[in-house]
Structure 1
Amino acid sequence: MTRRVRILGAPTDYGANRRGVDMGPSAIRYAGLASALEAAGTSCHDAGDLSVPRMEERDPDAEEPPAGTARFLRETREVCTALADRVADSIDAGATPLALGGDHSIAIGSLVGSARDARIGAIWFDAHGDMNTPTTSPSGNVHGMPLAAALGVGDFSEAAYDWANAVGLNASNVVLVGLRSLDDDERAAIHDSDVTAYTMSDIDERGIADVVDDALAAATAGTDGIHVSLDLDWLDPTVAPGVGTPVRGGVTYREAHLAMEAVARSGDLRSMELVEVNPVLDQHNETASLSVELAASAFGKRVL
């Protein structure tokens, strides 16, 4: 049976501190996403973008929810709530949603929607842990908080943040792969949780294949499928230059493809997102093109 993929654009930069990432969905589409997914053997439908007002158009007088130091939390809530509905609707319609960011805060919506009426696992391919909260974040940028939000960590356990909690996601089924940049409080939060975490040192010592196989085993244990969150800063900046928070020492081009190929072979992909592509910082749309290639691998593209 041909897998149906539904592309959902979420062109937001509310969660980041560098402008331009809101143009990521357009750049990824321009790089040939739909045709690459079709060539990988899927039936692809682009459902367009969410309506996301520009940061300059936000209403400064609207009531803010309890936010700690989180910036633009009201706007992030609106985007993620809308995205969650579209992700859930896609799954109900028999399609696999592929969300295009925008910054990584959109993962709150993806996870909430994918975990609605199901138990899911999640694999987080990222240089960062995204386990900060409004209280612990040194920047207040929500793109460093989506995993904590979805798991209800710290501040996010309060009733005011019910919209951000993915009720069908358990920490024991969450795996972070390729970490190399963590805040102190974030490091403690990971240690105190049931989340499984693999650093770049683990990949160096064990190899990407073994790490991803273990990640898939943990994420799929007792679940109805997995969500894959692919932040392009997971890759080394020499391979993916167009990201807002580059960190040296990331995975290589082939390691990234091998990981996505393993996801495809598992047959457990329920939903996915590509985030943090910033065309303003990119070179010849290189990072957006890489996003397309990796998405195709995750959805089944093969050499033979």
Structure 2
Amino acid sequence: MLKVDIIGAATSFGQPKLGVDLGPDALRYANLVEEIKSVDVEVNDKGNIYSDFKVDVPTHSSSEDKVLKNYGQVVNFNEKLAASADESVASGAFPLIIGGDHSLAIGSLAGISPHYNNLGVIWYDAHADLNDINTSPSGNVHGMPLAISCGIGDERLVNLHTPDIKVKPRNIVLIGMRDLDEGEKKYIRDENILMYTMEDIEEKGISTVMTEALEYLHGKTDGIHLSLDVDALDPSETPGTGTPVENGLSLSDTIHAMNLLHESGSVTSMDLVEVNPLLDDRNMTAEKAVAIVAAFFGKEQK
């Protein structure tokens, strides 16, 4: 029986909008544990990880330009998350990290990647999160975790938990892209990263996109990490998120994508990020996110 470790990543330090640190509990209130258990999966909820720093509401994410915002808090939180994710993989569990803003992927990938020689990453998101301090318009770290995991950016974050890079650019697939900064576009071109924009998805269909993504990663990776930001979906589907972008994926397409990933048996760990109940409408984003996770673990949708 598959054993899933749920790790609550209660952090909001990677971006300016307060409330995303409440995402893990919003997902639990939407019956996350029960939905996963319903498909004969053993669930161990490890509870929430918190930074040693408290959120200072008046000064949250306030800093000068060209400075990583909430830097010490981001480092501290991700060191703790990396240790927990590492422990889960070592125990033979599937780590399901629920957030929390997308800067948490620095820690999840840092903890998971040492267990693989060539970890693949499916980044299911409206954004590539491939900025560094020189290309980021904001200095918010949630726009940088994939770049940091590829070895670009702040040295302490790049070398968090274990030294050197966590993911090779050739082992990345970007899905759902529709809001890219110029520096990210250049990096994607320079590194020849496989990317599917919303235009690609509309043209090919989600089934073809997911099949091609899995075929691309098959054979050259020994594990696949899925990092799913709820802003990959259209804001009409998931309003409770901090950086919504119009013309996104539908819930039905996303559930179908998760069905295909489940059938492949290739994904070995997962992030679910950017659920912010303070921006939501009656917890509907968390409820839809739970349906997405349940589909990933094999639950058939009615």
TM-score (norm 2): 0.92
1:80 equivalent in alignment to 2:78: yes
Q: Report the alpha carbon displacement of residue 284 of structure 1 after superposing the two structures with TM.
A: 0.8
Query: What is the distance in 2 between the residues matched to 1:8 and 1:238?
Result: 28
Of 219-228 and 202-211, deviating more is 219-228
Query: What is the distance in 1 between the residues matched to 2:186 and 2:240?
Result: 30
Query: What is the distance in 1 between the residues matched to 2:138 and 2:156?
Result: 23
Match of 2:262 among 251, 261, 264: 264
1:219-230 superposed matches below 5 A = 219-230=217-228
1:135 equivalent in alignment to 2:134: yes
Query: What is the distance in 1 between the residues matched to 2:299 and 2:217?
Result: 22
Task: Provide closer, same or farther for how the CA distance between residues 303 and 161 of structure 1 changes in structure 2, counting only shifts above 3 A.
Answer: closer
Q: Report the alpha carbon displacement of residue 209 of structure 1 after superposing the two structures with TM.
A: 0.6
Q: Report the alpha carbon displacement of residue 262 of structure 1 after superposing the two structures with TM.
A: 1.1
State the partner residue of 1:55.
55
State the partner residue of 1:246.
244
Q: Report the alpha carbon displacement of residue 68 of structure 1 after superposing the two structures with TM.
A: 4.6
State the number of aligned residues.
295
% same residue: 41
Equivalent position amino acid for 1:51 in 2: Y
Secondary structure at the aligned position of 2:187 is classed as helix
Q: Report the alpha carbon displacement of residue 179 of structure 1 after superposing the two structures with TM.
A: 0.3
Q: Report the alpha carbon displacement of residue 168 of structure 1 after superposing the two structures with TM.
A: 4.7
**Conserved? CA contact 2:207–2:256, under 8 Å:** yes
1:144 equivalent in alignment to 2:143: yes
**Conserved? CA contact 2:11–2:50, under 8 Å:** no
**Conserved? CA contact 1:173–1:221, under 8 Å:** no
State the partner residue of 2:16.
17
1:123 equivalent in alignment to 2:92: no
1:163 equivalent in alignment to 2:160: yes
1:193 equivalent in alignment to 2:191: yes
Equivalent position amino acid for 2:54 in 1: R
Query: What is the distance in 2 between the residues matched to 1:296 and 1:135?
Result: 38
State the partner residue of 1:203.
201
Task: Provide closer, same or farther for how the CA distance between residues 160 and 233 of structure 1 changes in structure 2, counting only shifts above 3 A.
Answer: closer
Query: What is the distance in 2 between the residues matched to 1:140 and 1:68?
Result: 6
Deviation string, structure 1 residues 22-51 (Cα, Å, up to 9, x no partner)? 110010011000000001221011000113
Task: Provide closer, same or farther for how the CA distance between residues 167 and 183 of structure 1 changes in structure 2, counting only shifts above 3 A.
Answer: closer
Q: Report the alpha carbon displacement of residue 193 of structure 1 after superposing the two structures with TM.
A: 1.5
Gaps of at least 5 residues in structure 2 are: none
**Conserved? CA contact 2:148–2:157, under 8 Å:** no
State the partner residue of 2:37.
38
Equivalent position amino acid for 1:70 in 2: L
Q: Report the alpha carbon displacement of residue 303 of structure 1 after superposing the two structures with TM.
A: 4.9
Match of 1:279 among 272, 277, 280: 277
TM-score (norm 1): 0.92
Q: Report the alpha carbon displacement of residue 188 of structure 1 after superposing the two structures with TM.
A: 1.1
Deviation string, structure 1 residues 132-184 (Cα, Å, up to 9, x no partner)? 0012111000000000000012x34x467311777452111100001000111
Secondary structure at the aligned position of 1:239 is classed as coil
Query: What is the distance in 2 between the residues matched to 1:4 and 1:69?
Result: 40
Of 15-24 and 213-222, deviating more is 213-222
**Conserved? CA contact 2:159–2:165, under 8 Å:** no
Secondary structure at the aligned position of 1:130 is classed as coil
**Conserved? CA contact 2:126–2:232, under 8 Å:** yes
Equivalent position amino acid for 1:54 in 2: K
